[in-house]
Each structure stands twice: as structure tokens, then as C-alpha cells.
Amino acid sequence: MPLGTLDGTPPPFFRQGPSALSKLILFSALALFLMVADSRFEVAKPLRMVVASVLYPVQWMVLRPVLWAQGGSQYFESLKSSQAREEIAQRQLASQSQRANQVEQLTLENSRLRKLLGLRDKVTTSWQAAQVLYDAADPYTHKVIIDRGALEGVLAGSPVLDENGVLGQVTRVYPMVSEVTLVTDRDQAIPVLNTRTGARGVAFGDPALRANALELRYMAANADVQAGDLLTTSGVDGVYPPGLPVAKVEKVERRVDSAFARITCQALALVSGVGQVMVLKPIATQIAPRPAPELPNAAVRKGGRR
């Protein structure tokens, strides 16, 4: 049989309903109808609700790992950023704390310098400013080291003041620094004047009683001394200018078995924690030397003949 005479259509045994084209057209029309009907009458809404309710647990279970992974990454990112912010805040807090301490220290130094400059009006002798470097190494003495020495013209015996009054006296002079013995040292004595009564006395350091204690010795038991009396320098020693504040009388004990009263005083100067001081020149260096005695006329003539 020639090939051109064969029929290409399948035999009736293999026919299975409508053709593919007719199925495409039918289902397309049905889909279009359902879309229009759902858009106008919401006929598929109950079906969608049922399907969504049935599939929700599955969706929830499927999304859990994704949400956990996202939450874990966000947690670690937020933890890292929080730690970084905390570190920055701690550094800023430390810097602000340091600045606050510096401000307080500068404010205290400023107030002390203002008081020290106000005290210079009471001083008629020449002076120079100095700074306390450190306390002396000997624990049995009350001494400090200042940053002025012989190269700056500091002399042994020079009075040293702070903003409140007499601090001590220069006892040793080195080229760059000097040693100052405080008024509270047991070997230090300073002539004082009671501003209320005008009575003179001598105040000695008494460190055994307290760090800033002085004792006004050799005052009669019936001497007119009261607690609260202000003691200033008398100026009779040729070292301290008169009128500088030294101490205040704190306690007076009059004992029957002693001819002298025990008078305890409190130093006005900051014997501990002082920073800036004023170094004066001793009064003796500013007093004109005593003139030489004149020789008798006979001795002059005799010397002239020779």
C-alpha cells in the first residue's frame, strides 16, 4: 500500500473525549467565569477561608525556623550594638568624671589663689609664689618641700604663708627646692600676739595632740586668754611681719597645781593638703645694718698722725 494513502488519524479505539483545544477553551471560559463571579459575587470566599484555615498550621510550622533564624540574628546584632554603646558610654562617663574632678580641683585651687592674693595686701615685704611639691620623708617631723630654692632668691628663715595664715618657715635651702618646717612641728616656735588683749606669747607646735595643734606656753594661770582668741605674729623676732594670722585659741585649762595655763590652739593654715604658698623675705634682711660706733676724737687724731 502506498504511504500516501495511509490515514494519520488514530483508530476509534484510542479516542478519549474532547480534544485538547476544546478542553483549553472550556477551562479558560470556566476560569474567566469564576473570576468574574468571584469578583462580583465572592462565590469563592468561603472556599478560600476553608483552605486558609486548613493550611494555617502548616504555614505556621514552616515559618517557625525562618522567624527563629531572623530573631537569632537580630538578637546577636542588637547584643553586639548594645555592648558597643555600653563601652562608648563607659568611656564617656570616665572622661566626664575625670573632667569633673579636674574642675573641682581647679575651682579649689582658684579659690585658694584668690585668698592668697587677698592676703598679700597685709604683707609689706617682698614675696614670691611657690608650690608645694611633696611632704618630707621623715614621719617624725612636719615639713614640706617647695619648688623654689637659692636660684630664685629664697633665704633660710623666710616665712611661708598660705591663703589662711602662717604655714611655717624655710629651714633648708637647696639650689632648686627648699624645705619648709610647719608651725605644727615640735621644734618650731613663733612669737604671737593676742589681738583681743594685746598680750604677747610664744606658740609651739604640738603634733602629739593633733595634726594642726599648737600650744601657747608660758602664760600665767590667771592670764586673760579665752577660747576663740585670734593669735597673730607679733613681729618681735625679726622674721615674721606683724599682723599675720597664726592660730585660734581652742581650749584653756587652768590647773591649781601649775603656775602656767595649758592653752591649746588650732593652726589657721592648711598644714595638710596645701598647694600654693607665698614665700616672704625675713624682716631682718630689710632692716638697715647698725651703724659702726664713732671713734673718739683723740683716737682719730692719733690715727691721723700715724
- Distance, in Å, from the CA atom of 67 to the CA atom of 89, rounded to the nearest integer, reads 32
pLDDT tens readout for residues 203-227? 998 877 777 889 998 888 888 999 9
CA separation for the pair 56, 129 (Å, rounded): 87
CATH number for the domain running over 127-286:
2.40.10.340
* 68-72, 216-220, 258-262: segment of lowest average pLDDT: 68-72
pLDDT score at 236:
84
pTM of the model: 0.58
What is the per-residue pLDDT for 192?
94
Whether 131 has a pLDDT exceeding 80, the answer reads yes
Domain coordinates of the chain in residue numbers?
19-122, 127-286
What is d(CA 284, CA 165) in angstroms, rounded to the nearest whole number? 20
Burial of 196 (0-12, 13-18, 19+ CB in 10 A): middle
The owner of cell 583681743 is 196
pLDDT reported for residue 289: 61
Q: Rounded mean pLDDT of the chain?
A: 80
Q: How many helices and strands in the chain, by DSSP H and E?
A: 3, 12
> For residue 190, with 0-12 CB atoms within 10 Å meaning exposed, 13-18 middle and 19 or more buried, which class applies?
buried
Cα 159-239-148 angle, rounded to 5 deg? 30
Mean pLDDT of 148-163: 90
pLDDT, one tens digit per residue, over 21-39 is 888 888 888 888 888 877 7
The pLDDT score that the predictor gives to residue 282 is 82
Which H or E element spans position 41?
helix 20-41
Burial class (CB in 10 A: 0-12, 13-18, 19+), 134: exposed
CB 183 within 8 A of CB 167: yes
